[in-house]
Amino acid sequence: MSPTWAGLAQVGLLLLALAVVYKPLGDYMARVFTSARHLRLEKAVYRVGRVDPDSEQHWKTYAASVLAFSFVSVVLLYLIQRLQHLLPFDFGRTASPGVAFNTAISFVTNTNWQSYVPETTMGHAVQMLGLTVQNFVSAAVGLAVAMALVRGFVRAKTDRLGNFWVDLTRGTVRVLLPLAFVFAIVLIALGVVQSLKSGVDVTNPDGSVSRIALAPAASQEAIKELGTNGGGIFNANSAHPFENPSSWTNLIEIFLLTVIPVCLTRTFGVLVGNKRQGTVLLTVMGVLWGGMLTVIWWAESHPNGPLALLAGGAMEGKEVRFGIAGSALFANATTSTSTGAVNSMHDSFSGLGGGGTLLNMMFGELSPGGVGSGLYSMLVVAIIAMFLAGLMVGRTPEYLGKKLGKREVTCAAVAILAMPTVLLLGTGAALLMPDTAGALNNPGAHGFSEVLYAYTSASNNNGSAFAGITVTNDWFQSTLGLCMAFGRFVPITAVLCLAGSLAVQRKVPETAGTLPTTGPLFATMLVGTVVLVAALTFIPALALGPIAEALA
């Protein structure tokens, strides 16, 4: 099997697996978030939390709950890291205040950017009690917000969007937890470690002695991919053989990190009562995903740049068991979702390949995007696209029977504006800092790309990196932390406000004058909007980094 055929087989199997679960998982999630029944376990959660699961919230209360929960999460996670020495399994590891602050925001915002080396910074207790928990609940928050937005479209003449605590709990208990548990076991069977030891000593065949690091990796790995989180329990992340031991686990992990965002389009279609509305979003995501995969894969398998030309192939920063195709597939999947796990070092990608991963994030991570965040990001872009399209057919724009007026456009604009704002300002400001040049691992345009990638990743809550950059100084720790927080919570608040203003509207009936949002025309328009907005916003920055590299 040639590498190309092996790659195509991987893509084919991935798509097949996604196709198989699309309907059942999508329908299941639709039931989870509409069911009137509470599980016994959930009732216990509500009792302890002293919340009434049958009361529904106004969008402001919903947003306040999201923000309050996330704030509490940041505080608790910070404390867990700082008080690590009081916990078991700490192995003498400590996190500095800068690391703890950055990491707390990073994991609560579903970014999972890591400015630390896990093997020496985070003990197993922090990993389990702090980071794994946020892997679950930050994904569940994204899911909850997406469901609130969908309710905005589905409901009419109400100011209630559901109950955040219920959505959070159900997402965790009914969706993430069972899937993560099953796949954690599957991963262990395929070689992923799940150990409470810090490491194991071995005497190598040549007589030398090594200590191989161990960790409870499988339980973290499963939810890290499933929740599009991406924070590795080992420094090399999903490139580490203990996190991702074979081409099969590689494929499973790619499947896990795409499955929920993909199936949510089905959930969406079911909930709005027209499954084709979901299919068309999936098509748009698929076109962007496939297009970018082609770019990245092609770029990596056609040696470009002095290093790859000299070596005879772009294997720098890649693992043999994944090869070029398995690495490109993972890189594309991780940056087009908000995962940020890596099985190869994006910093060593070619200009075009690395630029592709950057552009994936700059699209706003919606192909298919993070758990929940992919769907709501795509819907926000759809609103902008439908606004223009609606004007072009001569009507007050509407989408899914809801008019897009001043308030809806404002909310969508704020949601879209947040990411480029912090991304561009963060990058620009960082470049003005005298220490920045010294933090880079590469000279020239690629060094610039490292800074750009860092802020792109943080602002989009991705978490992957051109990891050569050293981001441990206070400037990076704090500004990247702020980028993550703004990049997450400004859009979430805007999306909930949008949901609120959609829900109070009555539904506009569909007529021949209504622009259908299920056909190829709408899909084309949506793809065009995503690409054009990202291109126009980021072309100048890209020109100085990846474009300059790729054309060199």
**Residues of span 513-552 touching another protein by CB under 8 A:** 513-516, 519, 521, 525, 528, 532, 535-541, 543-544, 547-549, 551-552
Q: Please identify, using beta-carbon distances, which residue of 136 and 363 lies nearer to another protein.
A: 136
Tokens of 547: 């474009």
Which range of residues in 32-40, 258-266, 363-371, 508-516 is near another protein by CB under 8 A? 508-516
Q: What are phi and psi of 54, to 5 degrees?
A: -100, 0
Q: Minimum distance from CB of 128 to another protein (Å)?
A: 4
Which range of residues in 231-239, 258-266, 279-287, 482-490 is near another protein by CB under 8 A? 231-239
Q: Minimum distance from CB of 414 to another protein (Å)?
A: 8
Alpha-carbon span 191 to 246, nearest angstrom: 8
Q: Minimum distance from CB of 309 to another protein (Å)?
A: 9
Size of the site for another protein (CB under 8 A): 194
Torsion of CA 192, 198, 201, 206, to 10 degrees: 60
Q: What are phi and psi of 90, to 5 degrees?
A: -90, -25
Q: Minimum distance from CB of 423 to another protein (Å)?
A: 8
Q: To which residue do tokens 């699309």 refer?
A: 22
The maximal CA–CA distance of the chain, rounded, in angstroms, is 79
Here the contacts of 2-5 (C-beta below 8 Å, separation 24 or greater) are 3/301, 3/323, 3/324, 3/325, 4/301, 4/325
Q: What are phi and psi of 450, to 5 degrees?
A: -65, -40
Residue of 167, 253, 347, 365 that binds another protein (CB under 8 A): 347
Is residue 321 a contact point for another protein (CB under 8 A)? Answer: yes
Is residue 13 a contact point for another protein (CB under 8 A)? Answer: yes
Residue of 122, 161, 236, 262 that binds another protein (CB under 8 A): 236
Q: Minimum distance from CB of 157 to another protein (Å)?
A: 10
Residue of 32, 409, 490, 504 that binds another protein (CB under 8 A): 409
Question: What is 1-63 written as a DSSP string?
Answer: --HHHHHHHHHHHHHHHHHHHHHHHHHHHHHHTT-----HHHHHHHHHHT--TT---BHHHHH
Q: Please identify, using beta-carbon distances, which residue of 90 and 316 lies nearer to another protein.
A: 316
Per-residue contact string for residues 261-280; x = within reach of another protein by CB under 8 A: --------------------
Which range of residues in 283-291, 358-366, 429-437, 487-495 is near another protein by CB under 8 A? 429-437
Per-residue contact string for residues 435-454; x = within reach of another protein by CB under 8 A: -xx---xxxxxxxxx--x--
Question: What is 346-371 written as a DSSP string?
Answer: GGGS-HHHHHHHHHHHHTTSTTTTST
Is residue 119 a contact point for another protein (CB under 8 A)? Answer: yes
Is residue 305 a contact point for another protein (CB under 8 A)? Answer: yes
Closest to 230 in 3D by CA, of 209, 254, 197: 254
Which range of residues in 24-32, 69-77, 269-277, 475-483 is near another protein by CB under 8 A? 69-77
Residue of 43, 202, 294, 435 that binds another protein (CB under 8 A): 202
CB-based contact 140:223 (threshold 8 Å): no
Is residue 318 a contact point for another protein (CB under 8 A)? Answer: yes
Of 122-181, which residues contact another protein (CB under 8 A)?
128-130, 132-133, 135-137, 165, 168-169, 172-173, 177, 180-181
Q: Please identify, using beta-carbon distances, which residue of 19 and 393 lies nearer to another protein.
A: 393
Alpha-carbon span 3 to 411, nearest angstrom: 46
Tokens of 409: 């456009």
Question: Any idea what DSSP says for residue 434?
Answer: T
Q: Minimum distance from CB of 16 to another protein (Å)?
A: 12
Burial of 313 per CB tally in 10 Å (0-12, 13-18, 19+)? middle
Residue of 48, 92, 434, 438 that binds another protein (CB under 8 A): 48
Q: Minimum distance from CB of 65 to another protein (Å)?
A: 5
Q: What are phi and psi of 117, to 5 degrees?
A: -95, 110
Residue of 94, 274, 410, 478 that binds another protein (CB under 8 A): 410
CB-based contact 373:145 (threshold 8 Å): yes
Question: What is 211-239 written as a DSSP string?
Answer: EEE---HHHHHHHHHHTT----SSTTGGG
Of 279-298, which residues contact another protein (CB under 8 A)?
none
Of 487-506, which residues contact another protein (CB under 8 A)?
506
Residue of 55, 307, 435, 474 that binds another protein (CB under 8 A): 307
Q: Please identify, using beta-carbon distances, which residue of 19 and 552 lies nearer to another protein.
A: 552
Q: Please identify, using beta-carbon distances, which residue of 243 and 365 lies nearer to another protein.
A: 243
Alpha-carbon span 427 to 83, nearest angstrom: 32
Is residue 20 a contact point for another protein (CB under 8 A)? Answer: no
Alpha-carbon span 223 to 227, nearest angstrom: 5
Q: Minimum distance from CB of 34 to another protein (Å)?
A: 21
